[in-house]
Chain A
């Protein structure tokens, strides 16, 4: 994914306010035309990173380069980007049309060009007929579209979005997710998108940058994060239901992968009921959730609680005792102390590496 001329480069970025740490040291390269999602739990520094790119914050140390130009000291207006805010930040005293062309007016574009661009933005976002309404007379989804239209109308090559869907209901969120992705590809924009919702990240991103405590935990395409989580944190944060992380010491010897301590992670869909004579982890069923094509089975074991996603409708009921197992190729091993992935434990049959050298 590293094209010859990266579009955005962050090097050695730190940002703190007194004792409050926003970003603890970030190096990040973003390629032109990519849809990059900054993912992580609340307070991990995603918004701060985005605002540093936008120029709404100035880093304590480090540089920000956009399109080969050092913009570290430039105000947002001179960075050639647009932004969609969580609250949409629509100007309440302006109509939809005036909100959309706000920036064009500020930059003094001639009227003819303003209305031409407005028309295009309106039709791209399906807002035709709402031009004269005030934001207060719009639904949440429509306001979101106005914010999108304002972001694309200037034709900037870079668009930053901070949790733009978090104020929409679940159904709408799913629709708009696809629309944003489509718009991005149609217009060839580079998008940096912040969310704490891993399904959103998995569904939209070309690349995910997973953050924790102001640092980048892992970055790569969604499938890499899913299949090759670099740390136990990445393993538990990406994927729903989350990966079971079982202390090796509490597992039966046959399943402990020869580790004395450390964590063994298995995705819910890789868990299965042990066949006769097969080594298994004894567990009690604490709940069963039938989803149609598959069933979520909630289990409690000596190694902790875990969730299995079993195909079809397995013959288990609440309160029954089962033996649960998994294939060696489906397990992920992590160091106990650091949580780091043990990628190729010596003398052990490691899980098949899909692509090597893409982890960070």
Chain B
């Protein structure tokens, strides 16, 4: 049976796959599509789904004037940057230690870190709240970011990536004069570049969208990220309508959407490569 003449069965299964994928895509894109529709129409037009309803940019003007968005953008940008920087730093060092150094209890310690993956972050909210308050980090960017920096997922991912690097590369670097920091910097980190890229993209997307924890740990506009700002803005008591909320939603997710469109290829490739290892 050649490839040129697929059987009836294989043809139907391909069709089913395509239909399923399409269905999922439509379901996934629907809220976004609605937001896009609503943001450019009056509230009446948005809900009537009248294709010829007049298009307007008023919603964006109203939304932008309704809250300190530049501050929220700044806060979110600082937040994802601080978290990513902390994660890269801690996970790199921990991953390297678990991949290449043997110290008493290293296996047990690694197991404990892996166990962390089984704990829902929400379970820890009260404990984290108490800890962040004790550290005097309440209502600060660092306070929102701190609980996520020593990421178990990141440590695991980088440990696996480092373990996949041939030993002889490290030995060659050591013969050529590298100490352990030099080996890490010149051999392991460059070798794990695709993993870093994948991890960074996931981390940024996750923390750009994170809501519950920042909501609890912030109470001023100086530290609120976009998600919390948007929820305050859209709260029923503020009296804004669905069209304005849609407009605000669109510009809060815009940077992420644009980044995804730019990095789409790297995003997918990074995941494939990280998975193959």
Contact = CB atoms under 8 A, between A and B. Distances in A.
Interface of A: 54-56, 75-77, 81-83, 85-87, 89, 91-94, 102-103, 106-107, 150, 154
Contacts of B193: 93
Contacts of A75: 174, 179
Interface of B: 166, 168-169, 171-179, 182, 186-187, 190-191, 193
A106 B176 contact: yes
- Looking at A55, A86, A91, A150, which has the most chain B CB atoms within 10 Å of its CB? A91
A74 B80 CA distance: 43
B187 A77 contact: no
Contacts of B186: 91, 102, 106
B177 A107 contact: yes
Contact of A77 (B166, B168, B177, B191): B177
B177 A89 contact: no
Which of B169, B177, B187 has the most A CB atoms < 10 Å from its CB? B177
Nearest to A156: B175
B171 A102 contact: no
Given A87-B166, A93-B193, A106-B186, A77 B179 contact: yes
Given A77-B175, A102-B176, A106-B178, A91 B190 contact: yes
Given A89-B166, A91-B190, A93-B191, A77 B174 contact: yes
A82 B171 CA distance: 11
B171 A77 contact: no
B168 to A, nearest CB: 4
B107 to A, nearest CB: 17
B177 A56 contact: no
B contact patch SS: helix
B173 A102 contact: yes
A93 B171 contact: no
Contacts of A83: 171-172, 175
A146 to B, nearest CB: 11
15 contacts: A55-B175, A76-B175, A77-B174, A81-B175, A85-B172, A89-B166, A89-B168, A89-B169, A89-B172, A91-B173, A91-B186, A102-B173, A102-B186, A103-B177, A106-B176
Contact of B168 (A82, A85, A107, A150): A85
* Most chain A beta-carbon contacts within 10 A, residue among B168, B169, B176: B176
Given A91-B190, A93-B193, A106-B186, A85 B178 contact: no
Contacts of B179: 75, 77
Contacts of B177: 77, 103, 106-107
Nearest to B182: A106
Contacts of B172: 83, 85, 89, 91, 150
B172, B173, B177, B182 interface centre (most CB from chain A within 10 Å): B172
Contacts of B166: 87, 89
A55 to B, nearest CB: 8
Most B C-beta atoms less than 10 A away, residue of A54, A82, A89: A89
Contacts of A89: 166, 168-169, 171-172
A2 to B, nearest CB: 28
A56 B191 CA distance: 21
B120 to A, nearest CB: 38
B169 A91 contact: yes
Contacts of B173: 91, 102, 106
A176 B108 CA distance: 49
B171 to A, nearest CB: 5
A106 B173 CA distance: 9
Contacts of A154: 176
A154 B176 CA distance: 9
A216 B89 CA distance: 48
B190 A77 contact: no
A106 B172 CA distance: 12
Q: Enumerate the 3 nearest inter-chain pairs by beta-carbon distance, A residue then B residue, closest first.
A: A103-B176, A89-B172, A89-B168
B187 A85 contact: no
A86 B166 CA distance: 12
Given A87-B166, A87-B168, A93 B190 contact: yes
Given A77-B178, A91-B172, A102-B176, 20 more contacts: A55-B175, A76-B175, A77-B176, A83-B171, A83-B175, A85-B168, A86-B168, A87-B166, A87-B168, A89-B168, A89-B169, A89-B171, A94-B190, A102-B186, A103-B176, A106-B173, A106-B177, A106-B186, A150-B176, A154-B176
